[in-house]
Chains A and B, each alone.
Chain A
Amino acid sequence: MTQQPGDATNAVAASARDLIKVYGKGEAEVRALDGVTVDLMQGEFTAIMGPSGSGKSTLMHCLAALDTPTSGEAVVDGTSLGKLKDKDLTTLRRERVGFVFQSFNLVPTLSAEENILLPLSLAGRKPDRAWFDQVVDAVGLRPRLGHRPSEMSGGQQQRVACARALVSQPRIVFADEPTGNLDSTSSAEVLGFLRRSVDEFGQTVVMVTHDPVAASYTDRVLFLADGVIVDELRSPDRDQILAKMASLQDAAVKKAAS
């Protein structure tokens, strides 16, 4: 699970500079992000981990141009998001970012194929047929292309979502707990595919998860607690991750007790 030689490994796909996101006011104030600075590398599979409520999703939303931070700067593919208007953010999402969500990934009224091609048809772009075929074969969905989401299992649906995220050849793919609703077999299929997309297509993938097994598929794991990055691991295995998580959990429990 190493990076392919010759890749522009040092290039930054997305980065955060002192990101702060505050929800609510006064008593109800929640600092979901409390000064996050991080670089996400191109061609890397990065996991963001942390206890529930630690700000993982918020970080991802801010990096993926879905939400705006209270302060700080988010940069995607060299573009600083802070100065962009809704229209430009939309274009950026459409052209340079791919998404896989935990649930409700697919438009129920469209077939698998139509769902996969949705970002392209939104942009009014013609699909690259060869690339489409390659992606579809990689997720193993060819026989299911004509099916509606309701006719597919959760794992199949997530794979359709993955294929959709890749088909527009974005600079970076964000996945928020993509295996959160799946059983272990389906999870393995989805994670395997994301791994392959990094290895074979040189895709950049950022995944939020709290599952150590899922995180063990990645090249790099960032640990988040109370809205700050507290640690990181490179090419981790399951046990390392478990240990890290356990210590974070302890710290959280202690902090809550004090």
Chain B
Amino acid sequence: MLLLTWRNLLARKVRLLMSTLAIVLGIGFLAGVMTFSTGLNATFQNIVSGSTPDGLVRPAGDVSGANAGVATTQLITPADIDKIGALPEVAAATGSVDGFGSFLLGKDDKLVGGQGAPTLAFNYAPGENMAGDEVLELSQGGWPEKPGEVTLDTSSAERGGYDIGDTVTMIVPTEVQDPRRTFTLVGTADFNGGGTAGATLVLLDTSEAQEIFLGGEDAFTSVALTAADGVSQTQLADAADAVVPGGFTAVTGDKVVKETQDQIGQFLDVISIFLTTFAVIAIVVGAFIIFNTFSILVSQRVRESALLRALGASKKQVTRSVLIEAFLMAVVGATLGLLLGLGLSRLLAGLFRTFGLDIAGDVLTLTPFTIIAGYVVGILVTMVAAFVPARRAAKVPPVAAMRDDLVVQEKGMGRRLVLGSIAMAVGVALAAAGLVGAPGTDAIWIGAGAVIWVITTAVLAPVLGHPVLVACRAVFGRLFGTAGLLAGENALRNPRRTGATASALMIGLAVVSAVGVLASSLSATNDKVVDDQFKSDFLVQMPTFQGFPSGFGDRMQDVDGVDLVSRQQGTPVSVDVDGTPDQTFAIGVDPGFFEIYDLTMIDGTDQISGHQTLLSEGRADDLKAGPGDTIDVEFPGGKKIPLEVVGVFEDTPTTGGITFPLSVLADAGIKRSDSTLSITLADGADRATVKRDLEDVVKDLPILSVQDKEEFKELISGQVNQLLYVIYGLLALAVVIAVIGIVNTLGLSVLERTREIGLLRAVGLSRRKLRTMITLESVAIALLGAVLGMVVGLVIGVVLRQSLKDDLTVLSLPVSNLLIFLVVAVIFGVLAAIVPAIRASRMKVLAAIATE
């Protein structure tokens, strides 16, 4: 029996290869995603542990300003460091000057490193990490030893086009007129763990770092500690903590590593879940293809199964032989898929590199977990998909081996229709429950409903698709005559097969359409929000919303034709929500802010001064605070400032949930910078001239842009579209797998109809018409999949939008996109038919008729 299975596999190499391809691609995607995620984790892991010392003295408090590029004004003096260094527990205490808000420009004057990863500028001082290795490793040249010298990380130097000895341009956060500075590149270096994960490292001489970032004060922002022999991290931190100046605290390296990993972990998890979702979709689509291939193979082998049964094969043996076939296929497919996954992960890494996230190639390896997961998923999915067809094979009565009328009776669609309708209703009920606010997340209810809809549509595709196929037949018949009519008939004659093949495509397009509805609604909503809220004439911002030197605002104030420049500075803060600290974003604003923007006040006043604050409605609810109450806000650096709430305004994207005067930030020890400037025109000023003059001011900081309303809209919709294209790109794989399914089904159908095709040729159907016929059948399947998918996807998209109507206030259907998808489906249909059509047209007429 095993022999027979083996022979069957060999005999149907080509046909099975196509289904194997479905497994290969699905598992390849999964393995690629897993490998990439592991690699991403490992990259950060290496860097985090490779760059963290035994202990660290840093500003006290829970709020880390580092990620938002917010600098505090708390400093530690050399005398303090000497005091710490003198402790018996401390082997070395090295002061560092960490600077924010600097940017490296390449030789082409463009920003190096894109907009994702930060630029870390600090003074170079030798220091050991927890493992006792130097934190930084020189790869070329030397360290900066005097002002005017700089050492960069290898990748940034390369991307900037710099060689040792070249003059490097940087933007530094000084208050002086020209933020540009030039340095001589003296060396390149990397973190001990390898690479920098895309971050740009700028290492400066200590005195110059102090001059740039601390205004020339001989002081430091933090101190790296190395423990003396035999001293634990805890002992080290405890000892140092006793002598650090006020506002500072000493922590263990382990704590720093854990904090960093927690922060990064969330971000990495999001990426990995996002990618895995698409892998799962691809695998589900693949499962449909496998199911379909086996169904067809089994129905073509009715006689063989019956013969085996007549010769004494038990039902189990027949089932098992099909399942073993599936198993072997899965093993081959998963093996190839894993290899493909390795390649794919490199490709993904390359893609992320262009976003500025460097992942070393040597961490992209197939881990045992990935290998096991690949095989388990591949084998399980294939076996499950092949199970129903295998059972069907065993049910063939032995008599069928001898009867010529081999029609194995198929059960009517009646039961399917009833069960399907019930399932649909359950899906509707779930989605409705989500909409009316059942407990838990709406999206989960709706998601469950959506999954049921998609599956039910797949099961009911033979029935639901009937009108579409009838329409196809009519249109094809009109346009292509007999060949068109025959194609329509062929698509109609085995509704199950057509339906199952189309379902694979349907799933892909359902997701594409649902995402399309959400993206289109998001864009429409953004446009509306911008229209409503963009009250100034210009907005000046970094694409990353990081802070930039306030000198720019000062100079813009002096531009002719400018009426008002309102300054806003954002910072992460921590507030107490129901007893637990909650990190959020607060914004300090100048009085000009209220001249430009009208906040809709629900309660209290928008007149703030001193230590007063406004809350958004949502924030006020969280904090259970209103006018007259006082809230404690903790700032980066650890300062806590009690703020009196004077007003509550309606939620708006214009400002943060906690909005207070800029002076609060100064009192909190946050270094002054701007994150947004809102600028209005003076009466009679020429908009274009003013814009040009404003742009002139920021020309030295190429990533800081002056936007008017339309540009701002474009910026936002550009970001939405970028994400949308990434999603479409990832879904393309599922669609490709679905197209393979069409190729497979057509190929098998052509083989099955060899006699009939011979007959048609014999009575005068030309080769060209035969090819047309097969191509049209393929197009009918593709259109069926596309139409069903779009309908389901639109419904899901609209329902999801409804549940998100607070955020997506405008519903917009991506009509033009849907039309494009339809055209693409037709093109895919034509492409899928190429090989089967050529095969069919090459059949020799006589041989085809003689085939039994």
Contacts and interface: CB of A to CB of B under 8 A. Distances in A.
Interface of A: 57, 61, 66-67, 86-87, 90-91, 93-95, 99, 101-105, 107-110, 114, 118-119, 121-123, 164, 176
Given A104-B307, A104-B852, A93 B312 contact: yes
B8 interface: yes
Interface stretch (B194-202, B394-402, B488-496, B522-530): B394-402
Contact of A109 (B4, B303, B315, B317): B4
A110 B2 CA distance: 12
Contacts of B852: 103-104
B7 interface: yes
Contact of B11 (A61, A101, A109, A121): A109
B658 to A, nearest CB: 74
Contact of B402 (A102, A108, A109): A102
19 contacts: A66-B397, A66-B398, A66-B399, A67-B397, A93-B310, A93-B312, A95-B312, A99-B311, A102-B402, A104-B303, A104-B401, A105-B307, A107-B308, A109-B11, A110-B3, A118-B4, A118-B308, A121-B1, A122-B311
B313 interface: yes
Contact of B3 (A57, A99, A114, A176): A114
B10 interface: yes
A90 B315 CA distance: 9
Contact residues on B (Cβ < 8 Å of other chain), bracket: 20 to 34
Interface in B1-34: 1, 3-4, 7-8, 10-11
Contacts of B1: 121-122
A136 to B, nearest CB: 18
A95 B312 CA distance: 8
B324 to A, nearest CB: 14
B590 interface: no
B218 interface: no
Contacts of A176: 402
B805 to A, nearest CB: 58
A93 B317 CA distance: 14
Interface string B396-416: 011101100000000000000
B399 A94 contact: no
A82 B633 CA distance: 87
B317 A101 contact: no
Contacts of B402: 57, 61, 66, 101-102, 176
A109 B309 CA distance: 17
Contacts, number: 74
B304 interface: yes
Contact of B309 (A90, A104, A121): A90
A152 to B, nearest CB: 14
A107 B4 contact: yes
A101 to B, nearest CB: 5
A101 B399 CA distance: 11
A118 B310 CA distance: 11
Given A109-B4, A121-B1, 15 more contacts: A57-B402, A61-B402, A66-B310, A66-B398, A67-B399, A93-B398, A94-B313, A99-B310, A101-B310, A107-B4, A107-B307, A110-B3, A114-B7, A121-B3, A122-B317
Nearest to A89: B398
A103 B8 CA distance: 20
Contact of B8 (A87, A102, A109, A118): A109
A56 B289 CA distance: 43
A94 B4 contact: no
A58 B312 CA distance: 19
Q: Which among A66, A110, A119 has the highest number of chain B CB atoms within 10 Å?
A: A66
A110 B7 contact: yes
B314 interface: yes
A102 B312 CA distance: 18
B358 to A, nearest CB: 52
B312 A123 contact: yes
A226 to B, nearest CB: 20
Given A93-B398, A101-B402, A110 B310 contact: no
A66 B308 CA distance: 12
Nearest to A93: B312
A87 B317 CA distance: 11
B312 A90 contact: yes
Nearest to B9: A109
A121 B3 CA distance: 9
B754 to A, nearest CB: 14
A79 to B, nearest CB: 15
Contacts of B310: 66, 93, 99, 101
Contacts of A61: 399, 402
Contacts of A90: 309, 312-315
Q: Which among B8, B397, B398 has the highest number of chain A CB atoms within 10 Å?
A: B398
B308 A122 contact: yes
A230 B313 CA distance: 36
A101 B402 CA distance: 7
B4 A110 contact: yes
A109 B307 contact: no
Nearest to A57: B402
A109 B3 CA distance: 10
Contacts of B399: 61, 66-67
Contacts of B10: 109
Contacts of B308: 107, 118, 122
A157 to B, nearest CB: 12
Contacts of A110: 3-4, 7
Contacts of B397: 66-67
B7 A109 contact: yes
Contacts of A119: 311-312
Contacts of B7: 107, 109-110, 114
Interface in B312-357: 312-315, 317
A33 to B, nearest CB: 14
